[in-house]
Amino acid sequence: MTRARILVIGSTNTDMVVEMTGLPRPGETVLGGAFRLTPGGKGANQAVAAARAGGQVTFITAVGTDRFGAESVARFTEEGIDTRFIATHSAAPSGVALILVDAQGENMIAVAPGANSLLDPGDLPEEAFADVALLLMQLEIPLDTVCAAARRAKAAGTLVLLNPAPMPLDGLPAALLAHVDYLIPNAGELRTLAPDATSMKDAARLLLQRGPTALIVTRGKEGVEVFTRDAHFHVPAIPVHAIDTVGAGDCFSATLGVALTEGQALPDAVRFAVAAAGLSTTRLGAQASMPTRAEIAQVLDAED
């Protein structure tokens, strides 16, 4: 099977993780457990997840001239990701994220974007968009860059998937939503996107009028709600023992994109992504937890 090309545009971070028995309250100091230094960043997580799930991935991101940036690019190459268009900026360090994870797998995250904040439309060469079936993005890079990429992709007839995280407090501009095909928020992000909605169904109605053809709401253990202009369906989560949810949303978005580029029907594509994301929560780390295509298939086979 010829693999359709997926373009991921987004952030690259190095995650500094502390394991906790419980997450601290504001102003509280809590003694933690093990410390881990792992690769992360929502864009990088999605690029790695898509590649491991079988996608042919090109990644555009920005890194600094430091050790973290060089190590990140080397890892992408090892994953089989096309790194030709990664921008290196000397004016800022590579991005880092500080992450606290409790015993139930819940987390708190603070991000210092560094070079990610310097990724601008000028870092998006036309060549990178050639013969791309799907563009996958998040919001850990400047919003102007996200909007420019979405606009360029739609003009070329490319599908656009957007995971709107981290969500701006004032929501998303109409010009961006008009160029998105698949919008993938969690329940909290959905409330920011449609603050006047009286229900999830009402929020979906309002958002689908603004451009997307599908709204896919991830709800953790409660599964996924999918809304299109003609239908609504629920895909349950796969029961797992979650130990670390960092990167699970990125895994879902990326593997959904892979499945869609392969021509899978939307319900099957969502089920594929649910299996992948669930499996990722059973492992520590963001990129380290991303499953391979064979592992995803094994989970789906066990569910049938």
Active-site residue set: 250
Q: Return d(Cα 47, Cα 123) in angstroms, integer.
A: 17
**Tokens matching residue 258:** 């892979």
Residues 6+ apart with CB under 8 A from 16: 35, 36, 37, 96, 97, 98, 99
Query: Sign of the C-alpha dihedral, residues 196, 202, 204, 208?
Result: negative
**Tokens matching residue 285:** 């780390």
Q: Return d(Cα 63, Cα 292) in angstroms, integer.
A: 26
Query: CA nearest 57: which of 75, 39, 83, 78?
Result: 83
Q: Return d(Cα 116, Cα 52) in angstroms, integer.
A: 23
**Dihedral angle computed from the Cα positions of residues 276, 286, 56 and 176, in that order, rounded to the nearest 10 degrees:** 90
